[in-house]
Amino acid sequence: MSTIALMFGTVFGSLIDLNHPGHYIHWGFIQMSYGNLIVIVLMAIVFFAAILIPFKSHKGGER
């Protein structure tokens, strides 16, 4: 029983604990947490990647 609990605890407890004081960028009057900054930068990357990466669909369609 305790082994199972230990397994669940390992999976369900987080591997990286983010419950520490965060880091923030100060850019002029803008303040942003690293977490949010990463999300926003990722969004921009994914957006441009989605537009630039070729999308190969099945060819040979008809009118």
Partner 1 sequence: MTIVDPKTERPDQADLDKAAGRPEDADQWTAKIRNSAVEALPPQKLLPDRQPAYVASWIYVFGVTTIAALIVVIGTGLVLAIFGPNWWHVSSTGLFVNSLHMWSVEIFMFAMVIHLWGKFFMAAWRGKRKATWITGVVSFLVSVGAAFTGYLSQQNFDSQWISSQAKDGINSTGAGAIFNVTNFGQMIMWHIVLLPLCIVAIVGLHVLMVRLRGVVTPFPAKGEAPGSESPTVATGEAEVQA
Partner 2 sequence: MSAETHKKTRPFKVDRDATTWHGRYEKYDLAKEFLISFVVVCILVAGLAVIFGSPDDKPVTVKSWSNADAVDFAQTALTELDNSSPTAVYGPPYNLNGTAQSIGPLSPAKWLGVHHPIDTANDYVLGPLSTLPNAPQVQAAIAEYKSASTSQQGTWTTAYGKAVANATYTDGKLVVPPGDYGPVTTLIAAETAMARSGALDGALLSSRQFYGTDYTKPLLFIANGAYLANLANKQNLAGTQWGMMNETGQYPGQAWLWLYTLWYQVPPMKTSSNADLQVFSLMIVLTALLALVPFIPGLRSIPRWTRLYRLIWREHYKEVEPTDRA
Question: Which positions from 4 to 43 touch partner 1 by CB under 8 A, shown as an x/- string?
Answer: ----xx-xxxx------------------------x--xx
Buried b vs exposed e over 14-33: b needs ≥16 C-beta within 10 Å? eeeeeeeeeeeeeeeeeeee
In angstroms, the first-to-last Cα distance of the chain is 63
> Is residue 52 near partner 2 by the rule CB under 8 A?
yes
Select 1 or 52, whichever has its Cβ closest to partner 2.
52
Chain residues binding partner 2 by CB under 8 A are 11-24, 29-36, 38-40, 51-52, 54, 57-63
